Amino acid sequence: MMSGKQPGKNSVAAVRRRSVSWVMIAAVAVVVVFAGSIFGYVYVQYSAKAEGEAAVAEWTPSETNRDPARKIPGVVAQDFEAGKHVTPAQRVNYDASPPYGGPHDGAWASCNGVVYESPVRTENFIHSLEHGAVWITYNPESVDGAGVAALREKVQGQQYLTMSPYPGLDKPISLQSWGRQLKVDRADDPRVDQFIRATRTNQYTHPEVGASCDALGAGQFDPDAPPPFDPNPPGADAVPMAAGNGTGAGQGNWM
């Protein structure tokens, strides 16, 4: 016969209770860690979204933030008189290159996401700026294929955006809206998107709010056969910046 005492029911129950307790503690710990991970993920996502919205708001025109482009480093601003038209045969003696305001052709360049592969007459683009468009230009000798592709991706199919090469540009890339200009070295410069958001159809900075950017077509401005860019100096008979209107008879009533 065995002489030792058999474990009592109370001892077995106590061991089982201790085992169950540790299992519960481990389970609770897993739940706490999982909940913490979920909370952390949600918090990070919410913080990132809030930061993104704040960044967007900083460059979005509003009643209390009418001209956010002026806060972008490198932006130059100038006031221009609107509605000053010239004929298709005339050139304007612009005071900036590329220009970003002043007298312009009575026909605007189609500017609803059109990417022009060849340089186009400047006077038509300036009318597009008057309508609220942003015109992106680049020096074809200093922007590589990847840079051009990145710019094209921003423009193609987008309302009130257009793009063309601009020979002789003193910086690789220049963005123009009516009365505002920004020149940068790279397509991935964050100021590019800031400028677009701050100026495109900004009702507080361009004169013809709601005006069209649609193609005018053959006989006026045809995006499939646009008037070419003239790299030569405008000449002694060019229209000065202070002039316009009356030289393009009948065209001043185009929006």
Render pLDDT for 190-232 as a digit per residue (tens, 0 to 9): 999 999 999 999 999 999 999 999 999 878 999 999 999 999 9
Quick one: pLDDT at residue 45? 56
Cβ contact 148:138 at 8 Å: yes
Quick one: pLDDT at residue 254? 36
Mean pLDDT calculated for residue range 3-22:
64
205-214: pLDDT as tens digits: 999 999 999 9
Terminal-residue alpha carbon distance, the chain: 114
57-78: pLDDT as tens digits: 899 999 999 999 999 999 999 9
Cβ contact 114:162 at 8 Å: yes
Cβ contact 123:95 at 8 Å: no
pTM score, two decimals? Answer: 0.77
Amino acid sitting at position 180: R
Burial annotation 60-95 (CB, 10 A radius, 16+ → b, else e):
ebeeeeebbbeebeebeeeebeeebbbeeebbbbbe
Nearest 10 degrees: CA dihedral of 209, 183, 106, 161?
A: -50
Q: What is the average pLDDT score of the chain?
A: 87
Name the DSSP letter for residue 198: H
Instruction: Give the separation between CA 78 and CA 69, rounded to whole angstroms.
Output: 12
Strand partners, 239: 92
| Token pair recorded at residue 209 | 């709010």
Residue with tokens 């026909």: 107
Quick one: pLDDT at residue 50? 45
143-165: pLDDT as tens digits: 999 999 999 999 999 999 999 99
Residue 53 in this model has a pLDDT that exceeds 60: no
* Percent of the chain predicted with pLDDT > 90: 70
Name the DSSP letter for residue 70: G
